[in-house]
Amino acid sequence: MATIKEVAKATGVSVATISRVLNNNGYVSEETKNKVIEAIKELDYRPNEVARSLYHKQSKTISLILPDITNPFFPELARGVEDIMNDHGYTIFLGNSDEKANKEERYLDMMEQKHVDGAILATNTLDSNHLKTLKKPVVIIDRSINSDFPTVCSENFHSSQDAVRHLKEVGCKVIAHIEGPAHITNSVLRKNGYIEVVKKESWFTDEYIVNGHYNDKDAYQATLTLLKNHPEIDGIFAGNDLMATGVLKAARNLGISIPEQLAVIGFDGIRMSEITSPELTTMAQPIYKMGETAAYMLIDLIEQRPLRERYYKYPVQLIKRQSTNVQNQSIN
Amino acid sequence: MATIKEVAKATGVSVATISRVLNNNGYVSEETKNKVIEAIKELDYRPNEVARSLYHKQSKTISLILPDITNPFFPELARGVEDIMNDHGYTIFLGNSDEKANKEERYLDMMEQKHVDGAILATNTLDSNHLKTLKKPVVIIDRSINSDFPTVCSENFHSSQDAVRHLKEVGCKVIAHIEGPAHITNSVLRKNGYIEVVKKESWFTDEYIVNGHYNDKDAYQATLTLLKNHPEIDGIFAGNDLMATGVLKAARNLGISIPEQLAVIGFDGIRMSEITSPELTTMAQPIYKMGETAAYMLIDLIEQRPLRERYYKYPVQLIKRQSTNVQNQSIN
DNA sequence: GGATAATATGTAACGGGTTACATAATCATT
DNA sequence: AATGATTATGTAACCCGTTACATATTATCC
Backbone angles phi, psi at B133, to 5 degrees: -65, -15
Q: What does the pLDDT look like over A5-27, one tens digit per residue?
A: 999 999 999 999 999 999 999 99
Averaged pLDDT, B288-304: 96
Q: What is the pLDDT of residues A99-113, one digit of tens each?
A: 998 999 888 888 888
Query: Residue B167: is its pLDDT beyond 70?
Result: yes
Any domain includes B260: yes
Residues A221 and A192 in one domain: yes
State the CATH number of the domain containing residue A18: 1.10.260.40
Q: What is the pLDDT of residue A123?
A: 82
For residue B52, being part of any structural domain is answered with no
Average pLDDT across chain A, whole number: 93
* Positions on chain C within 7 A of a protein C-beta: 7-12, 14-20
Q: DSSP letters along A246-259, please?
A: HHHHHHHHTT--TT
8 A C-beta contact, residue B256 and residue B224: no
Residues B208 and B110 grouped into a single domain = no
Cα-based distances in Å from A103 to A58, A106, B71, B87, B230: 23, 5, 26, 11, 54
Is any atom of nucleic acid chain C found less than 7 Å from the CB of residue B126?
A: no
A120 lies in some domain: yes
Tens of pLDDT, residue by residue over A118-133, are 999 998 777 767 777 7
B115 within some domain? yes
* Percent of chain B residues topping a pLDDT of 90: 85
User: Can you give the pLDDT at residue A112?
Assistant: 85
With contacts defined as CB-CB under 8 Å, which chain A residues touch B115?
48-50
Q: Is residue A332 part of a domain?
A: no
Please indicate, yes or no, whether residues A150 and A167 belong to a single structural domain of this protein: no
Q: Based on the domain organization, do B173 and B148 belong to the same domain? A: no
CATH number at A292 reads 3.40.50.2300
Are residues B280 and B161 part of one domain?
yes
Residues 6+ apart with CB under 8 A from A238: A177, A178, A212, A219, A244, A246, A247, A264, A265, A266, A267
Taking phi over 0 as left and psi of -120 to 50 as alpha, with beta for the rest, B202 belongs to alpha
Per-residue model confidence (pLDDT) at position A165: 97
Reported confidence tier of residue A332, pLDDT bands at 50, 70, 90: very low
pLDDT tens readout for residues A282-297:
999 999 999 999 999 9
Residue B221 scores a pLDDT above 90: yes
Chain A residues touching residue B113 (CB < 8 angstroms): 46-49
The answer to the question of residue B331 being in a domain is: no
* A76, pLDDT greater than 90: yes
Same domain, A230 and A306: no
Are residues A150 and A169 in contact, defined by beta-carbon separation less than 8 angstroms?
Answer: no
Give the dihedral of Cα atoms A153, A156, A158, A162; nearest 10 deg: 120
Show residues of chain A in contact with B249, CB under 8 Å. Answer: 275, 277
- The answer to whether the CB atoms of B75 and A79 lie below 8 A apart is no
pLDDT at B330: 42
Do A195 and A143 sit in the same domain of this protein?
A: no
Report d(CA B179, CA A219) in Å as an integer: 34
In this predicted structure, what is the pLDDT of residue B332? 36
> How close A203 gets to chain B, by Cα (Å)?
31
Beta bridge partners of A263: A235
Size of interface A-B (CB pairs under 8 A): 129
CA distance A99 to A320: 31
Q: How far apart are CA B294 and CA B138, in angstroms?
A: 10
Q: Which nucleotides of D are covered by protein (CB under 7 A)?
A: 7-12, 14-20
Residues B64 and B20 in one domain: no
| Total tally of structural domains belonging to chain B | 3
Considering only CB atoms, which chain A residues are within 8 Å of B76? 70
Same domain, A62 and A88: yes
**Cα–Cα distance for residue pair B219/B212, rounded to 1 Å:** 4
Mean model confidence pLDDT for chain B = 93
* Mean pLDDT (whole number) for A181-188: 93
Question: Do residues A296 and A137 touch, judged by C-beta distance below 8 A?
Answer: no
Rounded Cα–Cα distance for residues A134 and A126 (Å): 12
Beta bridge partner(s), residue A313: A153
What average pLDDT does the segment B43-51 reach? 95
Is the preceding omega at residue B278 within 30 degrees of 0, hence cis? yes
Task: With respect to residue A95, please indicate whether it lies within any of the assigned structural domains.
Answer: yes
Do B297 and B247 reside in the same domain of the chain? no
CB contact under 8 A, A94 and B96: no
Q: What pLDDT, on the 0 to 100 scale, is given for residue B145?
A: 66
Q: Range of A73's domain? A: 57-154+287-314
Is the residue at A52 inside a domain?
A: no
Q: B265 φ, ψ to 5°? A: -130, 140
What residue type is assigned to position B191 of the chain?
Answer: K
pLDDT at B143 (0 to 100): 82
Residues B143, B163 within the same domain: no
One domain for residues A266 and A168: yes
Minimum-distance CB partner of B93 among A51, A69, A92: A92
Contact A75 B69 (CB under 8 A): yes
- Indicate whether A331 pLDDT > 70: no
Q: Taking 70 as the threshold, does the pLDDT of residue A236 lie above it?
A: yes
Which chain A residue lies closest to B90 (C-alpha atoms)? A110
